[in-house]
Structure 1
Amino acid sequence: MKIYLDGKFVDKAEAKISVFDHGLLYGDGIFEGIRLYSGNVFRLEEHLERLEYSAKAIMLKMPWSRKEIADATCETCRQNGLTDGYIRLVVTRGVGDLGLSPWLCPVPSIFIIADKINLYPQEYYEKGLDIVTVPTRRVNAAAFSPAIKSLNYLNNILAKMEARQAGVQEAIMLNDQGYVAECTGDNIFIVHKGEIITPAASQGALKGITRGAIFDVAREIGVPIREDNLTRYDIWNADEAFLTGTAAETVPVVKLDGREVGNGKPGPIFQKVLADFRRRVVTEGTRI
């Protein structure tokens, strides 16, 4: 496997960063997870725009143009002979001293990995996920914006561990007001009386690229869609529910906290969303 690291392609075993890199020491950096479908990098421009927004939000000045990063991303796929897979694009603050000061990290670092990924076993895409609500709450949006896709995912990891302890694949995280924010690595949508509803970013949800694609899909298939505050009660009594994410793609939810969602099977609106989404992923993006 070839890894793009600071302008060069190196073998996996040689892809190393310094122990003084602030991305490692403090989670001071940003990333994007991107999908490759049949030689098409899905919504690459949207991912790189979000990367730029995250960089600006944490005052990390990237010395590379969007085109340079896009070209490096596509070339990483070509170097590894991939036509379908998952791309992890990471930018760290770079090497500094042992203090917090980011201004002592003069040169940021970038690396790109292109590989395969299977977030959930295939059976769950067909029969649906059984998920739970976990005690770990989403970080308050006033403390740290959920729109920043940073390297510090410890909040999500703790929730993921609690999901595993409960014997399920995924979990819902609430915010400090008790509203649904998102899952540990996915956005959540419900279907209620023919309408698709999802939590707003202000409630702690990441502005997912796949999440945005679902808004486009809903308009295409003629299903109303909106953001709103959601509680566990709303999901328990939804007609359907499903999760979205770059790694997860789109997967149905059939049970929450031991309660069946709808009739306990993937619903008809989800099936329409899935079909349109699958059509889009091979056409909307950048050819490698």
Structure 2
Amino acid sequence: MALKIFLGNKLVDEADAKVSVFDHGLLYGDGVFEGIRVYSGRVFLHQQHIDRLYESAKAIRLVIPLSPADMKAAVEQTVKANNIDDGYVRLVVTRGAGSLGLDIRKTSNPQVIIIADTISLYPPETYTKGMQLVTASTIRNHPGALSSRIKSLNYLNNILARIEGTDAGMVEALMLNHKGEVAECTGDNIFIVKNRVLLTPGLDAGILEGITRNAVMELAVEAGYEVRETSLTRHDLYIADEMFLTGTAAEVVAVVGLDGRKIGSGEPGPVTKDLLARFQKLTRSET
């Protein structure tokens, strides 16, 4: 069945969801987006995603043509129109159509695009057995050039690193920052566990402030774990007791190997399993 896409200010048929070839979102990756999960028909951590979308837009001087409340309603309308029970929402705002130049003053009509569809997750065995990672040679964008806290439409940095991962037979890849420190993976934040203490790179490492990352950190503190944001090197990861990733699609998934080295016991660890169970319980309670 064809999807209903929210475009501009209304729902349209998938075949009619079109934007101008002069839109700066297409020409220059000039825009922002959010990826949001839906559980049992309810949009998960909806307000946090809306807040981050508008913060990203403000940072690039993009005025979104809908109020946050209207945007939230539009997301819920799109989910309902497509009968999404468990799925994914891609919320995009482009700069709008303009000239073949960089001047944003010559753009107009920013486009709001909301797609609600089913989601392709990691295979179930990934959660029971864990995943392997490889470190990409492509580093994260320098935060002095483009803040990693802006979830922009230009994802080429992440895509190039993901290509390295897939070339190595991995479904994810680790990215370092300009200082050679651990930043994040191409689509997920990263944590290690050492002596039952959770360690994760801070925002100054050049990472996206993940919504799921923050939720898992809150769950960990509530469960009595110590959580620290700190600089990490690959050596810290190699000698970790456990490692896991967090993300909208990934949720909480164990990493059992990095660059050919076994992490911990080589199986998902007890802290990772506990936090995955707590996160899954949170998704049920939110719905």
TM-score (norm 2): 0.97
Q: Does 2:128 match 1:130?
A: no
Query: Match of 1:281, SS?
Result: helix
**Paired residue type of 2:159:** I
Q: Deviations over 1:119-169 (max 9, x none)?
A: 422221211001110100111111110000000000000000000111111
- Equivalent residues, number: 285
What pairs up with 1:185-264 in 2 under 5 angstroms? 185-264=187-266
TM-superposed CA distance for 1:282, in Å, is 2.8
Q: Does 2:281 match 1:279?
A: yes
Higher relative contact order (Cα pairs below 8 Å, separated by 6+ residues):
1
Kept in 2, the 8 Å contact 1:40–1:283? The answer is: no
Q: Does 2:183 match 1:181?
A: yes
What pairs up with 1:147-162 in 2 under 5 angstroms? 147-162=149-164
Q: Does 2:103 match 1:101?
A: yes
Partner of 2:118: 116
Query: Match of 1:282, SS?
Result: helix
TM-score (norm 1): 0.97
TM-superposed CA distance for 1:249, in Å, is 1.4
Q: Deviations over 1:149-195 (max 9, x none)?
A: 00000000000000011111111000111100100100000000110
Q: Which runs of 5+ in 1 are unaligned?
A: none
Q: Which runs of 5+ in 2 are unaligned?
A: none
**Paired residue type of 2:16:** E
Partner of 1:59: 61
- The CA distance in 2 between the partners of 1:172 and 1:3, in whole Å, is 33
- The CA distance in 2 between the partners of 1:281 and 1:121, in whole Å, is 19
Over aligned residue pairs, what C-alpha RMSD do you find?
1.0
Q: Does 2:26 match 1:21?
A: no
- The CA distance in 1 between the partners of 2:237 and 2:118, in whole Å, is 32
TM-superposed CA distance for 1:283, in Å, is 2.9
Partner of 1:31: 33
- The CA distance in 1 between the partners of 2:129 and 2:79, in whole Å, is 32
TM-superposed CA distance for 1:214, in Å, is 0.8
Extract structure 1 runs of 4+ deviating beyond 2 A: 119-122
Q: Percent identity?
A: 55
Partner of 1:84: 86
- The CA distance in 2 between the partners of 1:248 and 1:88, in whole Å, is 15
- The CA distance in 2 between the partners of 1:6 and 1:227, in whole Å, is 39
